[in-house]
């Protein structure tokens, strides 16, 4: 039996080809740097996801944003081969269109998870295999731990940086091929390594916005693709009263309090539910938004066995990335790929379109998408960040 290298593969480092998904940011640059320094056969891949010229509404250009050039410069510094892969059409179809559809349906999507699920861990991963890569490494803050049943997904060592929430949809097969070398590291360590390696992006700020919404206005993109989502409709109180007119369902998120323009009630009003089909935004008081049971679709299971145990399981669940996990029971639903979640204590942050991720201690057991529920509504808490920014934390 040969020795295993630091990536858990039975080969000498020099004969192990590692493809690194390089975004041009500090984390993936450091990932490439560490692996190159360890002597791996590192190949950098950067995805061209959208036409940067048209996204920033300058004239249509052939080419890429600054991040791609940053990634190239880092690869030059590290003396590793680097390639740009064009995924514009699939990103448009699988991420941007779905993002718009989700808003139109009254949900609050997480495009970064969609991107991980499709473009990154399906297409990029296949390209990595096609060029003889032994694994695909990314700069995500999460840990891949080998257990009895194979690779497991765990939280990052740095709780402030943990991105495991955004990786819940990674399949077991994908996880087997993936590596997250930064998962055990603290962010300041990564920046220190970047400086030591002479990587030009060492002091580049972390990205905050959704990558394809450089102006920070996601409504512009949705409006362009799905103008119907901008049609105005009624603000309806949970007690049935029409309180006024809203500016189109895409401008609201379940749980939103600010910017509703509704006054005259005894307590502050929150968005409780978005009834996109009838163009209604339902509002209510804080107690109207509490919720203790909801349904999930699109389950990805990372625990033991093929799928969620038939008699359910206990876990702590996160309903958004920044949330403290809540104790819950998860039960399989009748429909394939669906589940029901019952929280021990009601939560305010149950937003359709967001993910519900199952944790067992540090380990991620999988998760699913919070489904719309047209019976009773619920609201996330008064968010410090906009939902767009929460969605972009990946």
Q: How many residues bind other proteins (CB under 8 A)?
A: 20
Concatenated DSSP letters of 13-42? GGG-EEEEE--SSHHHHHHHHHHHHTT-EE
Catalytic one among 112, 135, 211, 356? 211
Binding flag, residue 86, other proteins (CB under 8 A): yes
Site residues for other proteins, 29-68, by CB under 8 A, read 43, 48, 62-64, 68
* Strand pairing class (280-284; 17-21): unpaired
The SS3 assignment for 91 reads: helix
* CB closer to other proteins, 11 vs 286: 11
Q: Where are the alpha helices (DSSP H) in 20-123?
A: 26-37, 52-55, 66-78, 88-91, 97-104, 111-115
Task: Write down the least CB distance from residue 225 to other proteins, Å.
Answer: 22
Binding flag, residue 81, other proteins (CB under 8 A): yes
Task: Write down the least CB distance from residue 66 to other proteins, Å.
Answer: 11
Token pair in block for residue 231: 């049609």
Helix (H) or strand (E) holding 244: strand 242-246
Binding flag, residue 197, other proteins (CB under 8 A): no
Catalytic one among 112, 115, 135, 356? 115
* CB closer to other proteins, 196 vs 314: 196
Exactly one of 84, 200, 225, 293 binds other proteins (CB under 8 A); that residue is 84
Query: Is 135 an active-site residue?
Result: no
Q: How far apart are CA 308 and CA 356, in angstroms?
A: 14
Angle at 117 between CA 111 and CA 368, to 5 degrees: 80
Token pair in block for residue 129: 């295999």
Binding-residue pattern over the window 125 to 144 for other proteins, x denoting contact by CB under 8 A: --x-xxxx------------
Task: Write down the least CB distance from residue 211 to other proteins, Å.
Answer: 15
* CB closer to other proteins, 81 vs 149: 81
Q: How far apart are CA 157 and CA 160, in angstroms?
A: 9
Task: Write down the least CB distance from residue 41 to other proteins, Å.
Answer: 9
Task: Write down the least CB distance from residue 80 to other proteins, Å.
Answer: 8
Site residues for other proteins, 317-356, by CB under 8 A, read none
Q: How far apart are CA 43 and CA 128, in angstroms?
A: 9
Q: How far apart are CA 352 and CA 107, in angstroms?
A: 5
Token pair in block for residue 10: 């039975």
Which span (81-89, 265-273, 307-315, 373-381) binds other proteins, by CB under 8 A? Answer: 81-89
* CB closer to other proteins, 137 vs 383: 137
Which span (123-131, 173-181, 216-224, 356-364) binds other proteins, by CB under 8 A? Answer: 123-131
Which span (75-83, 113-121, 178-186, 242-250) binds other proteins, by CB under 8 A? Answer: 75-83
User: What are all long-range contacts of 98-101, with beta carbons under 8 Å and residues at least 24 apart?
Assistant: 99/218, 99/221, 99/222, 100/221, 100/222, 100/225, 100/226, 100/229, 101/226
Query: Is 115 an active-site residue?
Result: yes
Buried/exposed code over 237-264 (b: 16+ C-beta within 10 A; e: otherwise):
bbeeeebeebbbbbbbbbbbbeebebee
Q: How far apart are CA 325 and CA 329, in angstroms?
A: 13
Binding flag, residue 73, other proteins (CB under 8 A): no
* CB closer to other proteins, 82 vs 320: 82
Kindly report the backbone phi and psi dihedral angles of residue 63, in degrees, each rounded to the nearest multiple of 5, phi listed first: -120, -165
Asked whether 95 and 218 are in contact (CB, 8 A), the reply is no
* CB closer to other proteins, 23 vs 354: 23
Binding flag, residue 286, other proteins (CB under 8 A): no
Task: Write down the least CB distance from residue 53 to other proteins, Å.
Answer: 11
* CB closer to other proteins, 78 vs 260: 78
Active site residues: 115, 211
What residues line the site for other proteins (CB under 8 A)? 17, 43, 48, 62-64, 68-69, 72, 79, 81, 83-86, 127, 129-132
């Amino acid at each position: 039996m040969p020795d295993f290298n630091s990536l858990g593969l039975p080969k000498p480092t020099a004969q192990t080809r590692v493809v690194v998904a390089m975004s041009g940011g500090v984390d993936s640059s450091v990932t490439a740097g560490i692996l190159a320094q360890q002597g791996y056969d590192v190949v950098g891949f950067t995805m061209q996801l959208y036409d940067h010229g048209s996204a920033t509404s300058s004239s249509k250009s052939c080419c890429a944003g600054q991040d791609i050039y940053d990634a190239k410069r880092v690869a030059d510094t590290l003396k590793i081969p680097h390639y740009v892969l064009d995924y514009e059409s699939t990103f448009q179809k699988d991420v941007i269109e779905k993002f718009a559809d989700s808003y139109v349906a009254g949900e609050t999507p997480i495009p970064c998870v969609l991107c991980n699920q499709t473009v990154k861990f399906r297409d990029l991963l296949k390209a990595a295999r096609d060029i003889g890569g032994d694994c695909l490494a990314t700069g995500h803050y999460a840990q891949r731990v080998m257990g009895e049943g194979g690779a497991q997904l765990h939280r990052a060592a740095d709780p402030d940086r943990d991105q495991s929430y955004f990786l819940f949809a990674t399949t077991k097969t994908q996880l087997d091929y993936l590596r997250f070398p930064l998962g055990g590291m603290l962010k300041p360590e990564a920046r220190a390594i970047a400086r030591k390696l002479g990587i030009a992006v060492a002091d580049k700020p972390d990205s905050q916005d959704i990558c394809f919404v450089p102006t920070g206005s996601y409504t512009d993109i949705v409006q362009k693709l799905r103008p119907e989502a901008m049609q105005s409709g009624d603000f309806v109180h949970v007690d049935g009263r029409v309180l006024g007119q809203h500016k189109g369902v895409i401008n609201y998120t379940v749980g939103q309090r600010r910017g509703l323009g509704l006054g005259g009630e005894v307590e502050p009003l929150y968005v409780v539910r978005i009834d996109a089909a009838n163009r209604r935004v339902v509002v209510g008081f804080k107690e109207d938004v509490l919720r203790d049971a909801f349904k999930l679709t699109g389950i990805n299971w990372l625990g033991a066995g093929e799928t969620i145990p038939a008699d359910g399981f206990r876990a702590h669940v996160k309903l958004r990335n920044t949330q403290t996990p809540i104790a819950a029971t998860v039960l399989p639903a009748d429909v394939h790929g669906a589940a029901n979640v019952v929280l021990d204590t009601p939560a305010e942050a149950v937003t359709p379109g967001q993910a519900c991720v199952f944790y067992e201690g540090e380990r991620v057991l999988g998760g699913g998408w919070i489904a719309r529920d047209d019976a009773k509504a619920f609201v996330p808490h008064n968010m410090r960040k906009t939902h767009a920014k929460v969605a972009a934390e990946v």
